[in-house]
Amino acid sequence: MKFKRSSSQVRRSLKWLAIAFATITATLVLLSAPSLAATQASTLTVYRDPSCSCCGGWMSHLVSEGFEIQEIATSKMNLVKQQQGVPNRLASCHTATIGGYAIEGHVPAKDIKRLLAQQPQVAGIAVAGMPIGTPGMEDGERREPFTVFWFDRQGNAGAFNRYVFEKLN
C-alpha cells in the first residue's frame, strides 16, 4: 500500500520542518551566548613592563582561579595607567582590564570576581605597591596586611577589601 501526499501536504511538512530547524538553531545560539559572554568576561588583558618578573606569578594565580589572560608587554605603563584612570597613589607594577574595569597591581582573584558580580560604579580596583604575600608576591609564610581599594575617574578611592594576617612566631 502506497501513501500518496498532495503537494499542499508536502509544502506544509516542509514548512514545519523549517520552523523546527529554525527553533532548534535559535535555541542552540541562545544557549551558547552565556558561555561566550562568560568566556569574554573572564579574560583579563594584562599590561606589564617587559622587565617585571612578579607579574607572571599574579597571572598564574588568576589562571588557577579560572581566568584567561591576554598579556601585553609594554614600556608605556604610565600611559596605560593614565588611560585607565588609576590614581598615582594606587599604582603598582601592572594594570589589567576586564569587563570595563581596571585592575591595578596584585589584586586577588576573589576580589576581581566580586567586582564583576557586583558591578559597582567605579573605574576599577587596586592594590597599591607590591605588598609581600599578595598573589605573585609570595615569600614563604611572610605576609603583609594590605587593602584592595576601589577608585573612580575623579581620583576618589576607598576600601573594597582588607587583608590582615596573624603574625607568625
3-state secondary structure of 167: coil
Q: Buried b vs exposed e over 2-37: b needs ≥16 C-beta within 10 Å?
A: eeeeeeeeeeeeeeeeeeeeeeeeeeeeeeeeeeee
What is the spatial distance between Cα 86 and Cα 102, in angstroms, rounded to a whole number?
A: 8
pLDDT digits (tens, 9 = 90+) for 124-153: 999 999 999 999 898 888 999 999 999 999
The pTM for the full model equals 0.74
Order of all β-strands in the sheet with 43-48: 68-73, 43-48, 94-98, 101-104, 124-126, 146-151, 157-163
At 17 the pLDDT is 57
